[in-house]
């Protein structure tokens, strides 16, 4: 039996959504150690899985690898469609687990498009591979089409920058008890509408934030400047998405972000991807104070939410072999 463990990622936003610029998308994000995804797989001559979403990916993986089948179970699952990258992590974990169970070598980056992953942002694939804070290079703008390309008709954007983050940093994750964020065809429609009317000037502000604030802060381990940069990049992206999500942040994320930003122990806060997950950056020594502030804010706002603390994850997927089950 093969066990594959991976975990969530935060997506701060993109470098450019405007068709007037040379490169499109260009994801920016960071790997976390929580929440985790754990899948077990073993070789079989048929497809056996009791998880609907996992079975869908399993069938595609089996076809892609050209193997007979596999027995798969999801031992630990991440929240779905909450802005934490659950879909890409699940697809990549199943790919690696089944390949290993069949003694096959596989490159997740090369196979991701066949599974419908990594089309716009390369952050999920990159954090699966190696963890850390990652920036991808996006795609040439001329490849943008009015209709979504077929699975496999793209390559995952290249990683153009990666930094390991200090192990004393802590990310507060606040996931409100609301409907899941956009995904699948709905997400694709929202993104295309945002791209078609995106203000090209915002990309200049994003570039300045990334090169003068976020990247230097990551290289120097400056959590205050990193938090400030991540929050600013998120707000700029929110201006692109405002018509699609009901404001700079998807409600009720904006109210949570505002209250987190007011906490002295929190260096910066923002929404991950389409939300509703909200992040706030603090340090190991300030976690208790920051958590108290989060709980008070949620109580004042009358918002129910799952709150947890995550460390940066500076490594990629882990794969272990165990005994074959009968």
Q: What is the pLDDT of residues 7-43, one digit of tens each?
A: 999 999 999 999 999 999 999 999 999 999 999 999 9
Q: Please, what's the largest Cα pairwise distance for the chain?
A: 60
Close Cβ partners of 124 (under 8 Å, ≥ 6 residues apart): 9, 11, 29, 85, 87, 88, 89, 92, 117, 118
Give the model's pLDDT for residue 187: 81
pLDDT of residue 148: 73
Percent of the chain with pLDDT over 70: 98
pLDDT band at 189 (very low <50, low <70, confident <90, very high): confident
pLDDT at 326 over 60: no
Tokens representing 178 are 């609301």
Q: What are phi and psi of 265, to 5 degrees?
A: -80, -10
Report the percent of the chain where pLDDT is more than 90.
88
Give the dihedral of Cα atoms 86, 4, 287, 231; nearest 10 deg. -40
Write out pLDDT tens, residues 93-109. 999 999 999 999 999 99
- pLDDT attached to residue 324: 63
Task: Report yes or no on 326 lying in a domain.
Answer: no
Q: Which domain holds residue 194?
A: 2-146+154-321
For the domain that residue 316 is a member of, what is the CATH number? 3.30.70.890
Residue 73 lies in a domain: yes
Report the candidate in 279, 219, 276 with the shortest Cα–Cα distance to residue 31: 279
Q: From CA 134, how far away is CA 137, in angstroms rounded?
A: 10
pLDDT at 201: 96
Report the 10 Å Cβ neighbour count for 224. Answer: 12
* Within a domain: 279: yes
What is the number of domains present in the chain? Answer: 1
Averaged pLDDT, 154-178: 96
228-246 confidence digits (pLDDT tens): 999 999 999 999 999 989 8
Residue 276 lies in a domain: yes
pLDDT at residue 146, as a whole number: 66
Phi, psi of 217 (to 5 degrees): -65, -40
Is 248:262 a contact under the CB 8 Å cutoff?
A: no
Select from 18, 5, 6 the least CA-distant residue to 207.
Answer: 18
Q: What would the pLDDT profile of 250-302 be if each residue is shown by its tens digit?
A: 999 999 999 999 999 999 999 999 999 999 999 999 999 999 999 999 999 99
For residue 1, count other CB atoms closer than 10 A to its CB. Answer: 17
Binned at pLDDT 50, 70 and 90, residue 143 comes out as confident
C-beta separation of 9 from 31 below 8 A: yes
Q: Match 């009358």 to its residue by tokens.
A: 302
To which residue do tokens 């509408």 refer? 193
Cβ neighbours of residue 60 closer than 8 Å, sequence gap 6 or more: 91, 114, 115, 116
């Amino acid at each position: 039996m093969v066990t594959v463990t991976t975990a969530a990622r935060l997506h701060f936003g993109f470098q450019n959504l405007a068709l007037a610029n040379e490169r499109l998308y260009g994801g920016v994000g960071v790997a976390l150690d929580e929440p985790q995804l754990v899948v077990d797989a073993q070789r079989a001559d048929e497809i056996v899985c009791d998880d609907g979403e996992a079975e869908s990916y399993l069938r595609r993986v089996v076809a892609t690898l050209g193997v007979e089948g596999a027995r798969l179970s999801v031992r630990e699952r991440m929240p779905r469609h909450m802005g934490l990258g659950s879909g890409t992590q699940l697809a990549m974990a199943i790919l690696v687990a089944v390949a290993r169970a069949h003694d096959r070598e596989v490159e997740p980056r090369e196979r991701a498009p066949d599974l419908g992953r990594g089309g716009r942002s390369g952050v999920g694939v990159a954090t699966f591979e190696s963890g850390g804070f990652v920036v991808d290079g996006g795609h040439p703008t001329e490849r943008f089409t009015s209709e979504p390309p077929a699975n496999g008709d793209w390559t995952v954007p290249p990683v153009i920058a990666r930094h390991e983050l200090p192990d004393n940093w802590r990310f507060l994750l606040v996931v409100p008890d609301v409907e899941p964020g956009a995904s699948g065809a709905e997400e694709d429609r929202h993104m295309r509408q945002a791209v078609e009317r995106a203000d090209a000037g915002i990309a200049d502000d994003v570039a300045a934030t990334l090169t003068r604030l976020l990247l230097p802060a990551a290289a120097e381990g400056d959590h205050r400047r990193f938090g400030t940069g991540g929050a600013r990049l998120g707000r700029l992206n929110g201006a692109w998405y405002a018509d699609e999500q009901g404001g700079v942040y998807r409600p009720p994320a904006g109210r949570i972000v505002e209250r987190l930003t007011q906490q002295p122990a929190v260096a910066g806060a923002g929404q991950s991807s389409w939300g509703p997950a909200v992040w706030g950056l603090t340090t190991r020594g300030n976690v208790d104070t920051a958590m108290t502030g989060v709980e008070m804010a949620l109580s004042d706002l009358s918002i129910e939410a799952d709150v947890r603390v995550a460390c940066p994850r500076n490594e990629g997927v882990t794969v272990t072999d165990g005994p074959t089950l009968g």
